[in-house]
Amino acid sequence: MMKNTVSTTVLQLDNFLPYRISVLANRLSRTLAGRYQTQFQISIAEWRVLAVLGETPDLSAAEVADKTAMDKVAVSRAVNRLTSVGLLSKHLAEQDKRRSVLSLTTEGTLIYQQIVPVALSFERSLKAALTATELTHLHTLLAKIQGLDVEAL
């Protein structure tokens, strides 16, 4: 059939996959960021830190960075802000005094318990816009693309 022996040479931004995915993700992020900000005065980065520590307490900053796909500078700043606001407790690990041990304070847990439903409700509405089949497809696709070594593309 000889389809695609030579590269397609036209490009329309509207149909360009990386562009579409990026625009979509930004739209979702901005909306969610707005909610966290107005309701809890929390940034997305801070939300992510709360989220992993709510689920798994006593992580180090590096572990948080790993689980949140954030870089260590961003984690450091989010952690310090959350600590200064009283939502996080941070102390040094006994065995290794470089490492910090992070966990939610009582107040942090309270905020966490309020913010999680907001996040989940947003996700639920998003999911509700899709059929069960589409949702399955979405999971399949995300899993597959997530597994790719994008650098190598």
Partner DNA sequence: AAATATTAGTTTCATATGAAACTAAATGCA
Partner DNA sequence: TGCATTTAGTTTCATATGAAACTAATATTT
User: Considering CB distances under 5 to 8 angstroms, the limit depending on partner class, which of its own copies, DNA, none binds residue 125?
Assistant: its own copies
From residue 34 to residue 53, what is the string marking binding to its own copies with x (rule CB under 8 A)?
Answer: --------------x--xx-
Selected binder of DNA within 1, 97, 106, 149 (CB under 7 A): 97
DSSP the chain: --TTSS------GGG-HHHHHHHHHHHHHHHHHHHHHHHH---HHHHHHHHHHHHS-SB-HHHHHHHHT--HHHHHHHHHHHHHTTSEEEEE-SS-TTSEEEEE-HHHHHHHHHHHHHHHHHHHHHHHTS-HHHHHHHHHHHHHHHHS-GGG-
Encoded one letter per residue, x for contact with its own copies by CB under 8 A and - for no contact, window 63-102 reads: ----xxx---------------------------------
- Length, in residues, of the chain: 153
What does 86 bind: its own copies, DNA, none (CB cut-off 5 to 8 Å by kind)?
Answer: none
- Kindly state the number of chain residues that form the binding site for DNA, as judged by CB under 7 A: 23
Contact positions vs its own copies (CB under 8 A): 4, 7-14, 16-29, 31-32, 48, 51-52, 54-55, 67-69, 116-117, 119-127, 129-130, 134, 137-138, 140-142, 144-146, 148, 150-151, 153
